Structure 1
C-alpha cells in the first residue's frame, strides 16, 4: 500500500475538526435532555459526554466543570430572547410557533425543563428563579395595563401546556399539524393575556 503524496509547495490537508459551536450545542442539548429525566446529582459528565458523542475532557474544555455546564443549562436567557423576539401585538402567535418549531426541529422546548425542577433539589430552586426572572418577569415588563405579572404567568402557562402535550404526551393530532396552523389556532389564546380586549 503506497502513501498518498502531497504535491510540492502545498500543505497536507488538515484533519477534519468538529465545529466548536456545534459541539457546545450538542453538549448543552445532551445535558438538557438528561436534566429533564434525572436528578441533577445523578447526572455524570460521562453520561452527558456519551449522549453528546464527545469525550468528558471536551466538556471540561468548553464548560470548566459540571456546575458551570448546568448553570448554562439552567439559564433561560438565550431561549427567552428568541421566544420574546416579536412585537407585542403578534407575540402570542410568535411564541406558540416558536415552541412548536423548537420541539419539531431541535427536539427541545425553550421552556419545558421548568416542569422538572422538583427533581433537582436545591438546583431546582435555581431553575425556578431563573425561569421567573428570565421568562415571566421579562414578559411582564413588556405588558401594559393591570395585572401584568399574572397575565404573563397565564400566557406562559398556556405555552407550557402546549409543550407538555406536544413533547411529553406526544399528542398525535398536534404533532401532525403544521406549526403555522397551530400558531393560528392557539396564538390567540396566548395573545388574549398579552393584549386583552379593553
Structure 2
C-alpha cells in the first residue's frame, strides 16, 4: 500500500486534539513512505494534514472540483493538484488514486465520502482497507450505531468488520497496512 486517501474536515473543529492528531497523521504518512491523497484544500484539518505531510517530505495529491477551488481555497503547494469538473469525478479520482482510506473528524462531506467508499467495498468494487481515526471518541457514537445495525439484522458482521478504527494514527496505519497485506 502506498497511497492513502484521507477524508476530513475543511474546518478544524473545537478541540485542539483534532488538529494535533491530523498533524501527526500527515507526518506519519510521510515517514512511512505513503502518498497522501485528499480533497486539495489548504484550510481546516485538510490544510493541517497536507502541510504536515509536505513538511515531513511526503508526496501529497489533492483533488478538487473547479467550482470549489476558490470556495475551499485550494492548496497550490502540493506535489500535484488534480482539478476535476464535479464532485462525482473528485470522489472517483480520489478512489482510483488510493490503496486505502481513512476518515478523520469532519462534517457532512466526510460522512458522505466515508459511506460511499465503504459501500463500494461492500459491493465488491474495490478490496481496499478503510478505517476511522477515532480522535477524542469523535466516531464512538457512530461505531455504537453501526454495531447496533448488526445486532438488529440490517448489516452483516463481515460488512461491519470492513470498517477498522483506532484512536491514534500509528495504530490505524498499522491496522490498515496489515489488512492490505491479506
With the shorter chain as reference, the TM-score category is 0.3 to 0.5
> Higher helix share goes to which structure?
1
Normalized against structure 1, the TM-score is what?
Answer: 0.31
Which has the higher Rg, Structure 1 or Structure 2? 1
Normalized against structure 2, the TM-score is what?
Answer: 0.33
> Higher strand share goes to which structure?
2
